[in-house]
Chain A
């Protein structure tokens, strides 16, 4: 459990929650870490709220299920309500402020507000608010260098969607500069 980082990513079906989790896990894998990715599966996948747990660690990961997270990414209101209380003290939350109206009242965690859905729409990156959020996370946490991120995107994007590689990179950059 050395240097275990636990991430919870949540939103609604279609926002690419599982994909951005996979991308995050691939960043861990390319950085030579142990990683796990666990989706919420079942009825929740069909249009309702959707979440996934990602763990990145230097040693064997026990449970891949995250109940208390170092980092929460919340991409809609219900996800914010459900998971903001799951952030460990001293942890961080990344909120898509286009879709979440609430503001966190407290100073025990660091909260970053990113109007990711709006930024995506303005920059012709529709459907990539998830990647913009990850860009912000990478910038704030120093998770990985740009070469690692690029490799992780290449490993995560399926061959059929290879034409979206450049857009993903642009979305990461946009998030880093937001």
Chain B
């Protein structure tokens, strides 16, 4: 049997190990504890390091140190814990260090709830730390994508020397689905310690020393570094911007959502189509860079757009701006850990018709 039933969190951890992740640093928080638990056993059996840090801040700074040596590494947390990592993430971005950071979102603000949420969209795509920085953000919507995107996240991180965020939620972390690991390997299937030419990895005086820092007191140096980093992000935008459109050709209404909510809008679309309402769906897979062109393309025949999120409405800003405020955009959201049901989305669609 090629597929096995696994929880999203465990599948993600297994995928990271298979993608050559050598070190995991984390601090426990629901609903992503299975990642650390799985790593504590399996990454060590694979010759890697699992380290439960003293705090989220400790963990992200261990990632900084580990990545600086050119070793493939990651950390994971959930919303309140990710806020604590923000300073370290800014430093990682400022020092051009590759790593994967997973956020299995729960409700906020504050300690909020342990139930699923998508209320960290703004934080993740806009302000994941201080300073001028743009991070690539991937949003899986199934357990299989938790696997595939983890492998891809490491690849992007190393190709563009940047921290990559994987934005999941409690639903994806906790649910089990059939999953296959066949696709993982390829480019990432080295030892995860290939010692790239920028790494501070020891050189026995055979080359110039590498300095890993985010401090640039010379204005010209800092401006040059930032400009170069943003040029890299534009390359990344051209190469990796991803989305998925369904039934958009004849659609009057386009419903858009990311992550686990994007599953529910598929059901709502099917129900609406059965009633003769021409609905299509659009799912951003990369939230940053946001798939603006693809969204424009998907809404060509649409008269209205509906955005569904487990928040008070955050991605809706990106949708409006991508559509240049030319189409009416409505929003439906649930909070507190509630996952919107297909029926309640269908009712909004009926009203919009």
Interface of A toward B, CB cutoff 8 Å: 1, 22, 25-26, 29-30, 34-39, 41-42, 60-65, 67, 155
Residues of B contacting A35 in the complex (Cβ-Cβ under 8 angstroms): 5, 177-178
> Could you tell me which residues of chain B, from 191 to 249, have a CB within 8 Å of some CB in chain A?
none
In angstroms, how far is the closest chain A Cβ from the Cβ of B281?
A: 11
State how many angstroms separate the Cβ of A175 from the closest Cβ of chain B. Answer: 22
Docked complex Cα distance between A70 and B257 (Å): 27
- Residues in A with CB closer than 8 Å to B115 are 42
Q: Which residues of B contact A37 (CB under 8 A)?
A: 5, 175-177
Chain B neighbourhood of A65, CB < 8 A: 171, 339, 341
Q: Which residues in B have their C-beta under 8 angstroms from that of A61?
A: 263
* Minimum C-beta distance from B143 to chain A (A): 9
Q: Is the CB of A38 within 8 A of B175?
A: yes
Interface of A is mostly: mixed
Q: Which residues of A have CB within 8 Å of B340?
A: 63
B interface, CB within 8 angstroms of A: 1, 3-5, 30-31, 114-115, 170-171, 174-178, 260, 263-268, 270-271, 339-342
Whether the pair A36, B31 counts as a contact (CB closer than 8 A) is: no
Residue of A whose beta carbon sits closest to that of B114: A42
For A26, list chain B residues within 8 Å (CB).
5
How far, in whole Å, are A59 and B339 apart by their CA atoms in the complex?
20
Whether the pair B342, A62 counts as a contact (CB closer than 8 A) is yes
| Contact A36/B266 with A29-B3, A41-B31, A155-B1 known, Cβ cut-off 8 Å | no
Contacts A35-B5, A61-B263, A63-B342: A25 and B170 contacting too (C-beta < 8 A)?
A: no
* Minimum CB–CB distance for B335 against chain A, Å: 15
Contacts A60-B263, A62-B263, A62-B342 given: A155-B4 contact, CB under 8 Å? yes
